Amino acid sequence: MQKKTILISVPFPRNIRHSLSRPFINELKKYGNIVVVSPFKFSNEDIEYLNLKNEKIVYMDINETSFSKILFKISDFARRAGYFGKHKKYGLPYYFNNLISDFNISGYFEKLPSLYKYIFIILSLVFRKRFVWLSLERLFFYLINFKSDALNEIKDLEDVIYFQSSNWGMQDRLLSHISSKKSWKSVMIPYTSDQIHCTGYLLIDHDCYAVQSEFEKKLAMELHNIEEKKIVVIGSIWHRNIEHFIKLNKDRIKYKDKKNILYAGVTSLYFPRITEIKSVKIIAEHFPEYNVNYCPYVNNNEFKKIRENLYSYRNVNLIPHSPSMTEVKTEEAISFYEDMKAHIEKIMDTDIFVMSYLTSLGTEANFLSKCPLIANFIDEYEILKNRNTENFPKDMLGDQLKIATSYNDLIICIENAMEDNEKDLSLQPYMYWDSEVNLDNEISKIMLSI
């Protein structure tokens, strides 16, 4: 019997850890030949580590012209405007407001001209039904005929099951289009809850939705009207990858010997860097018995600048971010294995996790260390307020997430977190992105059902 072709789309470096998770791939291999489609190249070391030596990797090169970019940008705005305009819960009106904003570091004059606002309102009304947007997207694909050797190779594949992890980006839009034209079977394996929550209408109707948690199942049913029988909770493929990595590399991982607070920064477009650094300084001063491991989300030059700024704080360690864990594109060559090791060492043995705004690093740290999570929403300059952040769905990680809105609040949250160690595991924030099921069994169920 001819084996099926399992096509796995890896559109961004950050998807490697999820979609090419070793426990996941190892199980999938039992059901067919793996074909990885990605716009970037993998190093030989990573191919070795990811166990892809005998698998086909197609380097996807989409020749977009300025015209095609404009058309597909319009379609993407229509997709999101229609979706955000349609749903009024789970904080989606906040995302609709953001469509008519263009964030900058100062926070001033971020609202786009009123003309755009009216265009988005009209788009949200016209595209309130998903099929209207799907028709527009198909029309654009009909008008723009993308051609490349890689695409021909993909189109020639037979008996394909397409695994899609992100619900945005040109690669998955194109693959979704090919998938529906060629009547491929398809499975969605969202790499974050956001893929189901706040990226717009789903790009394609999948045969199966392999979600991470019961919460994602609820989102899929309520926001996308997906039938329950098509949804399978498989837990977090990424978390299984972490467990697998730790098992294999027990002796290579550096464990922390001192109590520590991990502070995860975000881009300065979302949270003022000055407030972030001030928060780190205040935490370091208030809790000298703790090491404060600060991971600013910055480039190398800014990293050096922050290092100088925090030089006198002896209990602050600066940790660079790992590009293949977080980036959507990267100019530098990435080393997945090294990045993953550094990433796990960063979040491991964390006693308390503090983040500017919200970042998925919180769920990972909570999964590994069961540490309490504190979100820093201090808004000295009213930048967050002007962006209607009060509507931001801060409860997406459950009610155990603590929100600090002032420096004093931040200290109190940390003090309370230090005292309050007994927690119900089933309510832990990471459970919103994971589930205690056996991944192999669930994959087996999916593969046998489609």
Partner 1 sequence: MRIYFLEFFFKTVHFLKRKIFFYKRNDLDNTNIEIILDPHNFKNYNLKLPQEYNLRQFTEKDFYGFHMLMLKVNMGFCPLSYWKNYILPGGFLVVEKVNTKKIVGAAFVAIYPNSKNDEVGTLEWLASDPDLVGLGIGPIIASNLSKRLIDDNFKKIRLGTQKHRKGVISMYKKLGWRLAEDL
End-to-end CA distance of the chain: 17
Give the number of other Cβ atoms within 10 Å of residue 29's Cβ. 15
CB of 105 to partner 1, least distance (A): 6
Token pair listed for 309: 């700024």
CB of 87 to partner 1, least distance (A): 28
Residues within the interface to partner 1 (CB under 8 A): 104-110, 113-115, 272-275, 299, 301-302, 305-306, 308-309, 380-383
The sign of the torsion formed by the CA atoms of 326, 331, 332, 335 equals: positive
Token pair listed for 287: 């809790």
Question: Whose Cβ is closer to partner 1: residue 193's or residue 275's?
Answer: 275
Token pair listed for 384: 């967050």
CB of 260 to partner 1, least distance (A): 24
CB of 269 to partner 1, least distance (A): 10
Question: Whose Cβ is closer to partner 1: residue 309's or residue 389's?
Answer: 309
Question: Whose Cβ is closer to partner 1: residue 110's or residue 205's?
Answer: 110
Residue 336 makes CB contacts below 8 A (sequence gap 6+) with 16, 17, 42, 43, 46, 49, 50, 324
Question: Whose Cβ is closer to partner 1: residue 299's or residue 406's?
Answer: 299
Question: Whose Cβ is closer to partner 1: residue 67's or residue 311's?
Answer: 311
Question: Whose Cβ is closer to partner 1: residue 9's or residue 268's?
Answer: 268
Question: Whose Cβ is closer to partner 1: residue 143's or residue 274's?
Answer: 274
Give the number of other Cβ atoms within 10 Å of residue 102's Cβ. 11
CB of 109 to partner 1, least distance (A): 5
Question: Whose Cβ is closer to partner 1: residue 104's or residue 406's?
Answer: 104
Task: Please state, in angstroms and rounded to a whole number, the distance separating the CA atoms of residues 166 and 215.
Answer: 18
Burial class (CB in 10 A: 0-12, 13-18, 19+), 1: exposed
**DSSP letter assigned to residue 3:** P
CB of 97 to partner 1, least distance (A): 16
Question: Whose Cβ is closer to partner 1: residue 249's or residue 299's?
Answer: 299
Residue 251 makes CB contacts below 8 A (sequence gap 6+) with none
CB of 404 to partner 1, least distance (A): 18
**DSSP letter assigned to residue 432:** G
The DSSP element (H or E) to which 223 belongs, if any, is helix 214-224
Question: Whose Cβ is closer to partner 1: residue 54's or residue 301's?
Answer: 301
What order do you get walking across the sheet with 231-233 strand by strand?
56-59, 32-38, 4-9, 160-164, 185-188, 208-211, 231-233
- ∠ CA 201-357-370, nearest 5°, is 95
CB of 273 to partner 1, least distance (A): 8
Cβ pair 344, 28 in contact under 8 A:
no
Instruction: Decide the pairing of beta strands 231-233 and 260-264.
Output: unpaired
Determine phi and psi for 330, rounding to 5 degrees: -150, 140
Token pair listed for 368: 């590994």
CB of 122 to partner 1, least distance (A): 16
Cβ pair 44, 191 in contact under 8 A:
no
Q: HSE of 23 in the Cβ direction (CA atoms, 13 Å)? A: 22
**DSSP letter assigned to residue 254:** P
CB of 110 to partner 1, least distance (A): 8
